[in-house]
A = this chain, B = another copy of it.
């Protein structure tokens, strides 16, 4: 297929394959950020071709032997995506990274600095170094399994195939210096990352679903008594007159005084966030208005409004503004837009806009988020909330992903892999079997996009296990003291597209043995093909400008920490912990707090008793760009912000 790549920004090109069709960024309402104009220039990559195979359009990207591939949506068990097939579809993560994802974002980044985005909500499959074409057979070295100990089950071809089953699709290429640069360009293409209000980075508590306003006040009192400043209180299904399906109307029984409650809480600088899902009950004041715009199938017995229609968005915005925003509600938790299949509408469902169920599913979380966001933007009040799914184009939307799983390592890996999605992930704390688990979970959470204790079905508090309360408070204190650092990181996400949470490879490249593959042990059940795999760092991440976290899992008292080449310092003591020209792997043996390291030259702005304190690590010169604005409104969109260079 002839490709007509158009340069749209320096190092950014798009190409419309086939007919025009709907796009992810279009549904998300994402507009490319102006900063893209300042991107570095590159010649159009020549390793891309496109053809039609049956009912799919297939973009093929040739790779060099040393290239490795990242991305393909939010992943829970891996970060590097070499040798993977993902059939992207919005879904709850279950058991394996196969494309069913809370953020099934069709974006891939290659270590040579090439990013590829298939800007389509249609069925997209990513074949990453797996599907070898017949005409490339010459590349292959054939070995016989029973004869040759060098036999490997994989002869991975040096290319990616991205297949989209649609009459047409927009593809966008981003070329940058490295993984970070091309991903930043992708994020900017999606509008730049979301900038939270400062209160959004404070402490969140979600109450049990059956609580009424009195019970909510009691929870707030508990926090006051325990001298733990609460930033946001989340109300779960019970705030509504009916839920599953939802009414989105206040429960007169439980929250007759919603207006007073919220005003009272705001006096104490505590915001209220409301849980919702998008499936509207017959008992809702919205039902009759939305019924004409509902899809062909019900979810939880509720109608499914077609959010692609301006009428629907208007009805919902009007309702939200009048009954929520006007009385001070700060945001939403948008649940159950992700699946599983048994909850949602079928792929063949029909929507008034003409979209099918599969397509709608891939964008529902994004549409839901965009619709609520519009009101906050209009009110010039930043919001920070939760959503169970989002897709490409959603980077600019101030919503953090979560789910119902609870495996610590998967939660950690999702935070690491999120760097390639243009989405944020919250490893929320819901409860714990013991104090150590609660501590470990809070240590990770404290450096995440949202410090959320989601006690909707438990009565967990920070003080639930007295033996770890001090440790948890230390973690919360750490987050508070790092606010200038973290807030600036989000500003860089917004203005420059740089993800706040990044796998090591994004900052340091393939410094590990990620290109060598070891001979694997044959096992007729666990590994019948002697699959070998390159090393993947799934349990460490960089957050903000320079800091590297290597969280301990529940029950762990020590762990292996991988240090990229160079000097590294313990964040707490300032002591040098690693120093080499190559990679270093050190067993970290301390029991608390969160293992955190700064590289040579790192400058970390911190807050202590309201004062800015600057820490500097190592001997190398370093500086930090500190961002400041009002922390609450969209005045920054009108230029009301500052960057200050801190030299130390």
Contact = CB atoms under 8 A, between A and B. Distances in A.
Interface string A98-126: 10000000000000000000000000010
Contacts of A296: 53, 133-134
Interface in A294-348: 294-298, 300-301, 303, 340-343, 345-348
Contacts of A240: 144, 146
Nearest to A457: B524
Interface stretch (A68-76, A168-176, A242-250, A375-383): A242-250
Contacts of A454: 524
A426 interface: no
A53 B457 contact: no
A241 interface: yes
A265 interface: no
B142 A430 contact: no
Interface stretch (A7-15, A54-62, A462-470): A54-62
Contacts of A349: 53, 131
Given A134-B303, A145-B244, A146-B210, A346 B161 contact: yes
Nearest to A407: B525
Could you tell me the dominant secondary structure of chain A's interface residues? Answer: loop
User: What's the number of copies of this chain in the assembled complex?
Assistant: 2
Contacts of A132: 297-298, 301
A209 B356 contact: no
B84 A342 contact: yes
Contact of A282 (B133, B137, B209): B137
A348 B54 contact: yes
A474 to B, nearest CB: 26
B238 A130 contact: no
A96 interface: yes
Interface string A355-394: 0110000000000000000000000000000000000000
A242 B141 CA distance: 13
A217 interface: no
B155 A301 contact: yes
A300 B342 CA distance: 35
A131 B297 contact: yes
Nearest to A131: B346
A242 to B, nearest CB: 4
B142 A524 contact: no
Given A133-B297, A348-B54, A457-B528, A142 B85 contact: no
A353 interface: no
A155 B340 CA distance: 15
A85 B342 contact: yes
A281 B55 CA distance: 29
Contact of A142 (B161, B237, B245, B251): B245
24 contacts: A53-B356, A54-B348, A56-B347, A56-B348, A85-B342, A125-B347, A130-B341, A133-B296, A134-B296, A137-B298, A140-B298, A140-B301, A142-B281, A142-B301, A145-B237, A146-B209, A146-B243, A147-B242, A147-B253, A155-B301, A161-B346, A404-B525, A406-B525, A457-B524
Given A53-B350, A87-B347, A131-B297, 9 more contacts: A54-B357, A55-B356, A94-B96, A134-B294, A142-B281, A144-B244, A145-B238, A146-B240, A430-B525
Interface of A: 53-56, 58, 83-85, 87, 94-96, 98, 125, 127, 130-134, 136-137, 140, 142, 144-147, 151, 153, 155, 161, 163, 165, 209-210, 236-238, 240-245, 251, 253-254, 281-283, 294-298, 300-301, 303, 340-343, 345-350, 356-357, 404-406, 430-431, 454, 456-458, 522-525, 528
